[in-house]
Structure 1
Amino acid sequence: MRQVLKAKSAYSNDDVQRVYDSIGDYVTEEEADAAVTAAAAETLTVLNNRPDDAVYGWSGGKDSIALQVVMERAGVRRALLGTIPHVEFRAYLDWCDAHQPDGLTVIENRTVTPAWLALPQNDRYLFPTNSTDGYRWTMLGTRRAQHLYQEEHGPRLQIYGRRTADGNSIPPTDHGIHRTRRLTSYCPMRTWSHELVLAVIHYNRRCLPPVYSWPNGWRTGTGSWPGRRVGTRDASFAETYSIEPDRLHEAAPDLPAAADWLRRHEETAL
């Protein structure tokens, strides 16, 4: 197994695409299958061979697709997705509808709208410029869904695709299990490299969402369009427009910043 992709902050979008296009040069099918088998076996050990006691997080992103392969091998059938439908890319939601795993529960946050973003106290969440404000989008979508699902269904374990190679912090406990007041989580892929994730997707012939063909897709991953961190606000609006212009036209009546950018863009195009 060869590793060339380091921390997310150190690789470019093109770097990941080049590796994915030639993934067989980095990870063999046997290595990928062995990693899935080991992760599935550990999952069953953690669950005392009771896979119905758990739910896994699925976003359609690369890590969650690889995690889905592991969960299918382990027999974990319940999955969870948190979305913010008023500010998601339409192509992403359509892809999720078409490719979602069996047993998926979708929990929507319909409170967050373009009008919500226009409130002065929420302006900093429009294309956030720091990790603290960027994490707010995780809290509004994924984390909110995790907490609500836990309250309603009470699984013994929530399983995530978090990895240390992606900068995620995994506690030094047995199997990296993390317990909080609200829930207990576990990350069976915590030591996987970026190359191994891509290889599991490739060798299991899984389809990737359109996100990864978009500008900066490998670096930003899935998520609501206002939560993308790709540069200045104008650059972020421009990139959003290049992906799905309708999202800005829909937002403009309630989001003055979007209306202003569209006006300037249209004036420049004349």
Structure 2
Amino acid sequence: MSTPTPTPTTATPRRPARKSSTLARKQGLADSATWLAARRTARQTWPDHALDMLIDRTVTQIRATCAGKRAGYAWSGGKDSIALDWLCRQAGIDECVLGISNLEFPAFLTWVTDNMPPGLTVINTGLSLAWLRERPHMLFPQGVNGSKWFPLINHKAQEQFFKQQRLDVLLLGRRHADGNYTGPKGSVLYTNAKGITRYSPIAHWSHEAVFALIERENLPMPPCYDWPRGYQVGTGAWPARQWTHNVDHGFEEVWQIDPDVVRHAATELPQAADWLARTGRN
């Protein structure tokens, strides 16, 4: 486990002018074309000198915050965790965790196998079709249930990793531009009731800044961003796809991504079998 130490500096890096995002939060932006346009122009929004200043300031803050502590980070394979992975390694932190279940898209698991960070620990939380059959409200959940998948997979794996590695701090790729919680009153460091200290060093990064780093460093992106509503949904188990209109909408998107996922689900889930029958898919 890497324990980074602060790098001496003669002056605090000057804070670059904040560049506000031209994109809305992903919750309200299902149009992938808008995301792709922002990705294409990200290097113009964040030219090298501005991006370098943002990177230097962020890496310096990571080193200072984690100095003398056992630190690791969460990696989901999504764009924000890809940027976080690159920044953490610049700061000397290389141990990370990915939480998965038995309900992942095969194409995503293949990409993870080919592109996982060297220090990655994969924790399978064991959620399966049998588990889902007993909890039909968790199939493409609407409203408040939409966020209930995160504690079951992401948070559970993070907590297990935190305790197993005896960490002092876990770094996350949460950002305010996506409406993510990073701590009380907008802070970026907090400890929850379970004693897990979470730190979000890119909380103030815009969507375009993340894209600019990914594009400049030629960092690989997972296939989920090429799928329906890819930038809105991101990574995650297939039944956890957020902001679907209903179960039929969810199955239609999953079918477009990988029909075999729906066919396999139909062997255990009545909802999947019913959808296949009603739509004439086979």
| Rounded Cα–Cα distance in structure 2 between residues aligned with 1:89 and 1:96 | 11
Residues 225 and 234, structure 2, Cα contact 8 Å, conserved in 1:
yes
- Matching residue's letter, 1:78: E
SS, match of residue 148 in structure 2: helix
Q: 26, 31, 53: which is aligned to 2:45?
A: 26
The answer for the alignment partner of 1:5 in structure 2 is: 23
Residues 133 and 269, structure 2, Cα contact 8 Å, conserved in 1:
yes
Q: How far off its partner does 1:253 sit?
A: 1.0
Q: How far off its partner does 1:154 sit?
A: 1.3
* TM-score w.r.t. length of structure 2: 0.88
Q: 29, 38, 50: which is aligned to 2:57?
A: 38
Q: How far off its partner does 1:173 sit?
A: 7.7
- Matching residue's letter, 2:280: E
| Rounded Cα–Cα distance in structure 1 between residues aligned with 2:50 and 2:149 | 35
1:264 matches 2:282: no
The answer for the alignment partner of 1:60 in structure 2 is: 77
| Rounded Cα–Cα distance in structure 1 between residues aligned with 2:265 and 2:140 | 14
- Matching residue's letter, 2:233: T
Residues 2 and 26, structure 1, Cα contact 8 Å, conserved in 2:
no
Q: How far off its partner does 1:175 sit?
A: 6.3
- Matching residue's letter, 2:203: R
The answer for the alignment partner of 2:221 in structure 1 is: 208
The answer for the alignment partner of 2:5 in structure 1 is: none
1:16 matches 2:35: yes
The answer for the alignment partner of 1:234 in structure 2 is: 248
Residues 16 and 218, structure 1, Cα contact 8 Å, conserved in 2:
yes
Query: 1:200-250 deviations in whole A, cap 9, x for unaligned?
Result: 111111010000011100000000000002222111101100101111111
The answer for the alignment partner of 1:73 in structure 2 is: 90
| Rounded Cα–Cα distance in structure 2 between residues aligned with 1:10 and 1:251 | 29
- Matching residue's letter, 2:220: C
Q: How far off its partner does 1:68 sit?
A: 0.8
Q: How far off its partner does 1:6 sit?
A: 2.5
The answer for the alignment partner of 1:99 in structure 2 is: 115
Residues 37 and 70, structure 1, Cα contact 8 Å, conserved in 2:
no
Q: 157, 176, 179: which is aligned to 1:164?
A: 176
The answer for the alignment partner of 1:125 in structure 2 is: 138
Q: Which runs of 5+ in 2 are unaligned?
A: 1-18
SS, match of residue 102 in structure 1: coil
- Matching residue's letter, 2:198: S
Q: Which runs of 5+ in 1 are unaligned?
A: none
Query: 1:134-181 deviations in whole A, cap 9, x for unaligned?
Result: 222111111010111122221111000111111112335896210123
The answer for the alignment partner of 2:232 in structure 1 is: 219
| Rounded Cα–Cα distance in structure 2 between residues aligned with 1:22 and 1:196 | 10
Q: How many residues align?
A: 261
- Matching residue's letter, 2:117: P
* TM-score w.r.t. length of structure 1: 0.91
Query: 1:100-146 deviations in whole A, cap 9, x for unaligned?
Result: 00110000012x21122111xx111100001x312221111110101
Query: 1:67-92 deviations in whole A, cap 9, x for unaligned?
Result: 011101101010110001x2100000
Q: How far off its partner does 1:17 sit?
A: 1.1
The answer for the alignment partner of 1:255 in structure 2 is: 269
The answer for the alignment partner of 2:147 in structure 1 is: 135
| Rounded Cα–Cα distance in structure 1 between residues aligned with 2:149 and 2:185 | 28
1:185 matches 2:201: no
1:151 matches 2:125: no
Q: Percent identity?
A: 33
The answer for the alignment partner of 2:209 in structure 1 is: 196
Q: How far off its partner does 1:9 sit?
A: 3.2
| Rounded Cα–Cα distance in structure 1 between residues aligned with 2:27 and 2:185 | 27
